[in-house]
Chain A
Amino acid sequence: GAGVSQTPSNKVTEKGKYVELRCDPISGHTALYWYRQSLGQGPEFLIYFQGTGAADDSGLPNDRFFAVRPEGSVSTLKIQRTERGDSAVYLCASSLTFTRGVETQYFGPGTRLLVL
């Protein structure tokens, strides 16, 4: 079956611009997660949705970052007034709420964002 998909796969933008990154989770997965991975680092948690609501947004670095999941499926990560330091790979993952009590997260291929 289809896995987690993310679009675009690559995004180049200029400093100060607005960008939207999209994530399509695995069908039926109620939980959705966003991470950011910088070169040579492990993924860094940004936000987690359970259904339509953000259950934990403690990882969002500042108020330029915002994410939505209006219908409980597709999610969009929005970054305003982009800065060069926002350049990274943005990973999306999804999971069932409980899989025998353990929620394995399935990751998408990521969106590579480059801010010039």
Chain B
Amino acid sequence: ELKVEQNPLFLSMQEGKNYTIYCNYSTTSDRLYWYRQDPGKSLESLFVLLSNGAVKQEGRLMASLDTKARLSTLHITAAVHDLSATYFCAVRPYGGSQGNLIFGKGTKLSVKP
């Protein structure tokens, strides 16, 4: 059974600081997704990572994928309050159907002034 583990589950950080969220998964996957969810809102797609060594950046967020280690990271640079949200990684098992994404429990990020 594929498991997706994120850590930390809760993260409180000050504006201007850097931090990394980790996403480990337990079996072979052919793609990994990062989503953002604001309280009471739906999920917003941030990144899709397809291959080993893939790196994508958008603003203060950078995601990377190491398929050999079965690890993805979401790095936050110089955090601002607007980044406060819950971040989910999701994995599609290799050979799985298009829709069968397995999500982690999410990392709730709170950025304080």
Residues of A near any B CB (own CB < 8 A) = 4, 31, 33, 40-45, 47-48, 50, 55-56, 58-59, 91, 93, 95, 97, 102-110
Contacts and interface: CB of A to CB of B under 8 A. Distances in A.
B103 A58 contact: no
B98 A102 contact: no
B99 A33 contact: yes
A43 B97 contact: no
B18 to A, nearest CB: 25
Nearest to B35: A107
6 contacts: A31-B99, A40-B105, A42-B88, A43-B90, A45-B101, A58-B100
**Top 4 A-B residue pairs of the complex, sorted by shortest distance between their CB atoms:** A48-B99, A42-B103, A56-B97, A107-B42
Contacts of B105: 40-42
A42 B107 CA distance: 10
Interface of B: 4, 31, 33, 35, 41-45, 48, 50, 88, 90, 97-106
Contact of A109 (B31, B42, B88, B104): B42
Contacts of A104: 45, 48
Contacts of B33: 105
Contacts of B31: 102
B42 A108 contact: yes
A72 B107 CA distance: 35
Nearest to B6: A42
Contacts of B99: 31, 33, 45, 47-48, 55-56, 105
Given A40-B105, A102-B31, A102-B50, A45 B100 contact: yes
Given A43-B103, A102-B50, A48 B42 contact: no
